[in-house]
Amino acid sequence: MVIREYEGRTEAPGKVLRAPAEPVVSDRLDGLFGGLSARKRVMACQLPVTLTIALVVAAAAVFSPETLTNNLFLAALLFHLAIAAACAAVPWARLPAGGFAAIPLLDCLAIGFTREAGGPAFSVMSMMLVFPVVWLSAQVRPSMPALAIAGTILSTVAPAIVRGSAPAGGSMIRTIILPLVMSVIAVTAHVVATTIRRHRTRLLESEHDLARALDESVRRQGLLDAVLKSVGVGVWVVDRRGRTVLANKAMHADAALAGILESAGGRVLLSADRSTPVPARLHPAERAASGEDFRDELYWAGPADRQAAYSVSAHSFPAKGGQEGGAVITFVDVTSLIGALAAKDNFVATVSHELRTPLTSILGYLELAMDEPGHEDIREELLVVRRNAEHLLNLVNDLIAVASERVELSPEHADLARIVTEAVDSVLPRAAGAGLELKLEVERPLPARVDPARISQVIHNLLSNAIKFSPHGGLITATARRTEAGLVCSISDTGIGMSGEEQEQAFTKFFRSARSRETAIPGAGLGLPVSKTIVEGHGGSISLDSEPGRGTTATFVLPA
């Protein structure tokens, strides 16, 4: 397994960085030509004609010296020289954009006169018309190919007119065929040049888009680098095979987390009980790699004398844009928080134990006082004192149960239907006083091995909540039945209900909804946590199903 710390640029596994390709010759020439001034560009375009004429003069001097004595041929050569001089002398940048077209048109005339002056031996010079024709046709303006064709016609017609000779048969063929051939070349050159120019424009736009995307990617990568380095949360990214893609600095700086990265199968990671090693298939990396999302699960890591607690969450991401999918796993060190919660629970348990002893003594002496003669005139007051002392004792017992997350149970064979019925009967007067209808639906009998007092406490807690949170005229329904899952008991009401967030926190110690605080509904936020502890102590489960304004259904399931 390859582990990479996320420092600066980090590439995904298997990705190879390649150097940019060397520019081809055409790109270099294009770049060189594009950097020239208008005058130098005209001279460069004229250069093929000038060089060809120089070669023609050299060939004539060797193979046909008498041609150089022909005044018309010499005049044509001077015409070419004048055109070349004009290319270098004229300030083309100051002229209109299409002003350079005069040069290739003059080239066509000069080539025509040179061909005519040289005679049949120089008829091959008609091929030189390709240079000015392509020069004109490669321009953006659609009128340029027409000028190229016109120049070709002039190259055949103008010399004959100047010489005053009637065109012969061969001359007529040249007059017709040569413009046709050059017309095809002109149109082809224009189409090819236009297509190349369009593709080049698209390539440039694509390059600009890629450059912008690269700049944005670099900016985002820099931002991600800064975030991952600054946060104190361990961030671990794995692929679909559970292999490490990257791990931030916090993962490597923490010895326990670094051990998780380096271990095989996650044997250094422990479950919430701080002693059971996490099996390989349940390791966060394996679960995340398989596409499972989870959040805020408690794990322990590190040696026994320095164990650290981590809240672990994972979020998977799909494959996209040719990139392999994977998952992001975060490790938040909650050791201090776990310690603070344990200290709080120990404090609550200690104080509760200290309170339970004097309360038990108070209740004992109250019983003695009530049994003694002579207190008949204050018996009602003593009953009020005993009732409140018993309430305090029950509250203290709930605190002890919640703090220790366990209760002492005395299981025995009992009938759940009878327990539910007795609990409903005991709260009937209270429900009637609140203007509520109480409905009982139970199967009989429902034998079970439970602690009757504790299960009765659970049912009383759920009924008490239903009464407190139901408006006048509401309906409360208590049901108990046998199913394949076990013995199911539900308490439903038509009260104010709870939101999804409130349901998630309903079994948290001391939690009370915002509505209950606003309306001053009494309670300590211990009924549901205690009920959960009791039900789970029996091997069962408890859940809520609620919707704001539509009521709540609390359901617990016990083994049959």
Per-residue pLDDT tens digits for 470-512: 888 889 999 999 988 889 999 999 888 888 778 777 877 766 6
Share of the chain above pLDDT 90, in %: 10
Please say whether the beta carbons of 424 and 478 come within 8 A: yes
Query: What are 102's two structure tokens?
Result: 């005069």
Q: From 247, 242, 215, select the one nearest 231 (Cα to Cα).
A: 247
Residue labelled with tokens 């844009």 = 321
**Predicted pLDDT at 17:** 39
Q: Determine the Cα–Cα distance for residues 65 and 516; give it in Å rounded to an integer.
A: 118
43-84 confidence digits (pLDDT tens): 988 899 999 999 988 988 888 888 888 888 888 899 999 999
Collapsing DSSP to helix, strand or coil, 20 comes out as coil
Please tell me what DSSP assigns to residue 274.
S
Radius of gyration of the chain (CA): 49
Angle at CA of residue 40, ends 34 and 41, nearest 5°: 50
Label residue 308 by pLDDT band (50, 70, 90): confident
Q: Which residue has the higher pLDDT, 35 or 188?
A: 188
**266-291 pLDDT tens trace:** 447 888 878 888 888 888 888 888 88
Nearest to 470 by CA among 521, 529, 509: 521
Confidence (pLDDT) at 266: 45
Please indicate, yes or no, whether the overall pTM of this predicted structure exceeds 0.75. Answer: no
Whether the pLDDT of residue 515 is over 90: the answer is: no
User: What Cα–Cα distance (Å) separates residue 64 from each residue in 68, 172, 395?
Assistant: 8, 26, 128
pLDDT-above-70 percentage for the chain? 82
Q: Angle formed by the axes of helices 379-404 and 335-371, to 10°?
A: 160
Angstrom CA distances, 433 to 219, 422, 430, 460, 471, stand at: 68, 18, 5, 17, 12
CA distance 284 to 310: 12
pLDDT tens for 367-398 read: 777 777 777 778 788 777 877 777 777 777 66
What is the pLDDT, as a whole number, of residue 361?
79
Which pLDDT score, from 0 to 100, does residue 34 have? 64
Distance CA(314)–CA(328), nearest Å, equals 6
From residue 103, alpha-carbon distances to 132, 478, 551 in Å are: 8, 104, 93
User: pLDDT tens for residues 128-146?
Assistant: 889 998 888 888 888 888 8
Determine the distance from the C-alpha atom of residue 335 to the mean position of all C-alpha atoms in its chain, rounded to a whole number: 30
From the number of C-beta atoms within 10 Å of its C-beta (0-12, 13-18, 19+), residue 299 rates as buried
- pLDDT tens for 417-476 read 999 999 899 888 888 888 998 889 998 889 999 999 889 889 988 998 888 888 888 899
